[in-house]
Amino acid sequence: MACCAGCGGQPPSAGFGKLNRLPGRPAEPAVSVVLPTYNRAPVLPRAIDSVLAQTYHDFELIIVDDASTDRTAEILAGYDDPRIVRLRLRRNSGPCEARNRGIHEARGRYVAFQDSDDEWYPDKLEKQVQALVKNANSRGAVACYCRMLQRLGGRERIRPSGDEESLGGEIYHRLLRGSTIGTPTLVVGRETLLAVGGFDARLRRFEDWDLALRLAQQGPIQFLPEVLMAAWATPKSVNARADHQCTVQIISKYLDAYRSEPGLSRRAASWLWYAGARLAMQGRASEGHKAWELSLSLAPHPARRTVAWFAYPAPRIVGIVAAVWAKRFGHPSGLLP
């Protein structure tokens, strides 16, 4: 089996912990569900139980314990379902590496992803697999995703919003305008996933957006408009830890695509300008200036150039002004992942 990019080209067994296969595990399941976890013991059973309760039964659940130090091992020991594969990494490697390790162990035709604090609705897997199989004989979709209910404290919202037609099909350029595909909403063909190299372990955030962009370059992505899962945003959620340098990382990776269209260039420039402002506010002047320079290279703006120049002696103060300006005048924050 080919290696994923995040594993550094090592064979699947190199540098990792023991793989624990329970007796009676399906020989070749149709779907491999990969669930990475790190110190999420209080919420982990909700995620596991929602997978085991699926109306579609032909799957294996690969739980990758990313060197947790809490009660995760004890909780996992309490499950005796033969579809579960338990794998513990010897060192904490991050969600991308953990998912890539799970992908290497996957034997299903399709791979699905679950996060350790989320909940699948019982018919999620069944409906997504049916959709992919139905279209397999034509120029079939390389992946399928669905809507989710996102819970943020006491608030709830449905993501993604928008009409069904614009959210499915050949959506690469649509995705460049902002992320609409969360990792736990995805079911993707394993061979396609391996072909694109899995998750990019260099990214500390936006790895789901990056994967979706690379999948969309391979072919159409099918969208199911139904809400088939619920996601909780908690203080320990990976996506709750905003680092604006990550905006610079993801835009830089697709810089040629953003340069190709004036509308995309302006949008990416706004994202980068805001990221630079936030970095300057944090006292990270050098990183902030690099973000601003990249922003101005995409969309020259004399006023912003002047603000960047004044930021050299007083980056924090100018960063606050620039951030407020970006929010008020054209920063598309609603589309940021």
Structural domains of the chain sorted by starting position, each given as residue range(s) with its CATH number in brackets: 5-240 (3.90.550.10), 245-335 (no CATH)
Predicted confidence at residue 11, as pLDDT, reads 38
> Kind and range of the H or E element at 223?
strand 221-233
**Alpha carbons 275 and 242: distance in angstroms, whole number:** 10
- Residues in Cβ contact with 317 at an 8 Å cutoff, skipping those fewer than 6 apart: none
206: left (phi over 0), alpha (psi -120 to 50) or beta: left
Sort 227 into a burial class: Cβ within 10 Å, 0-12 / 13-18 / 19+.
middle
Q: What is the pLDDT of residue 68?
A: 97
Give pLDDT, residue 276.
85
Name the residue among 60, 55, 185 with its Cα closest to residue 114.
185
Cis peptide before 160 (omega within 30 of 0): yes
How confident is the model at residue 5, as a pLDDT? 44
Helix (H) or strand (E) holding 48: helix 44-52
Yes or no: say if 2 and 194 are a contact pair by the CB < 8 Å rule. yes
Instruction: Mention every residue, 6+ apart, whose C-beta is less than 8 A from residue 155.
Output: none
Question: So what's the pLDDT on residue 23?
Answer: 54
CA distance 143 to 138: 14
pLDDT, residue 139, reads 63
Please tell me the distance from the alpha carbon of residue 274 to that of residue 278, in angstroms, as a whole number.
Answer: 6
Record the tokens describing residue 47, joined without a space: 């995620």
What the block records as the tokens of 227 is: 């809400």
> Which among 142, 104, 98, 118 has a CA at the least distance from the CA of 2?
104
pLDDT value at residue 281: 79
Profile the chain (337 residues) by mean pLDDT over runs of 10 residues: 42 46 69 97 97 98 98 97 96 96 96 97 98 76 95 88 87 93 96 96 92 96 96 62 82 96 91 86 83 89 61 50 50 41
Written as six digits, the tokens of 244 are 């604006």
pLDDT for 164: 78
**Regarding beta strands 31-37 and 59-65, do their DSSP bridges make them parallel or antiparallel, or are they unpaired?**
parallel
Q: In sequence order, what are the residues at sequence separation of 6 or more whose Cβ sits closer than 8 angstroms to the Cβ of residue 165?
A: none
State how beta strands 119-120 and 59-65 pair: unpaired
* pLDDT given at position 328: 45
| Backbone phi, psi, residue 329, to 5° | -120, 70
Closest CA to 101 of 36, 22, 187: 36
Under DSSP, the state recorded for 4 is P
What is residue 62's predicted lDDT score, i.e. its pLDDT? 98
Residue 333: exposed, middle, or buried by beta-carbon count in 10 A (0-12, 13-18, 19+)?
A: exposed
Question: What is the Cα–Cα distance from 216 to 176, expressed in whole angstroms?
Answer: 10
